[in-house]
Amino acid sequence: MKKISILLLTFICLSCGDNSNDLTVKTHVKGLKKGTVYLKKVEDTTLVTVDSIVINGNSSFELHSKLESPEMFYIDLDKNSTEQDRIGFFADRGVTEINTTLKNFVYDAKIKGSKQQEVLEKYKALISKINNRDLDIIKEKFEAQIAKDTTKLLELQKEENSTIKRKYLYTVNFAIQNKDSEVAPFLALSEIYNARLDLLDTINKSLTPKVKDSKYGKELNDFIETIKSAEK
């Protein structure tokens, strides 16, 4: 009996050890009474559901996933929702807390969890000025086309090209400065994947061994090697 108890205790301890590697997403959506919430991530370029929960009156709930290395996850209120309608967050092992509202599901989202999420939010805050100017340029180009103002169009086109270069160079510098974060290769793959190969390679070579061995570190290296092979 004593041996059985010891074996049972060992099994419980091992089980607890396995669960400690899981991702738990504690979520509260103010105003959400009914519906299904989905936790998703990208696997082989496809967005797949890794967990879901049916809501019936309780706006606080948990979602879970296995996690080998830090990566991006997404929360959807609709199985077929668009990118603009889902909350994206960078998760690591442990607990991530998300508080938001049903009315402004994406824009009201407050995310607390991984160090990678903090780095990603820092990048988004600093790059938002460039992105906002991009939107203004698109609007001004449309107005110039209607007015048939070719001079204005040329000026805006030059500014647009300059803005794109600024975004690429800023992203490269940010990634290098955060070479010890899995956010660095993620940004290279998601924000500037069509940048010059030497820029992507610069980021890749700067990554720490731990980040190189992560999901996005491996994907970035494979992506660069594929481009190099195609250019031979």
What is the model's pLDDT at position 144? 82
Q: Which residues contact 55 (CB under 8 A, 6 or more apart)?
A: 29, 32, 33, 34, 35, 36, 37, 61
If we measure between CA atoms, which residue out of 56, 40, 59 comes closest to residue 100? 59
Whether 59 has a pLDDT exceeding 50, the answer reads yes
Strands of 94-101's sheet, edge to edge?
60-65, 23-30, 94-101, 110-112
Tell me if the pTM is above 0.85: no
For 44-150, list the strands marked E by DSSP.
46-56, 60-65, 71-76, 87-91, 94-101, 110-112
Nearest Cα neighbor of 201 from 175, 177, 164, 181 is 175
For residue 199, what pLDDT is reported? 94
Mean of per-residue pLDDT scores for the chain: 88
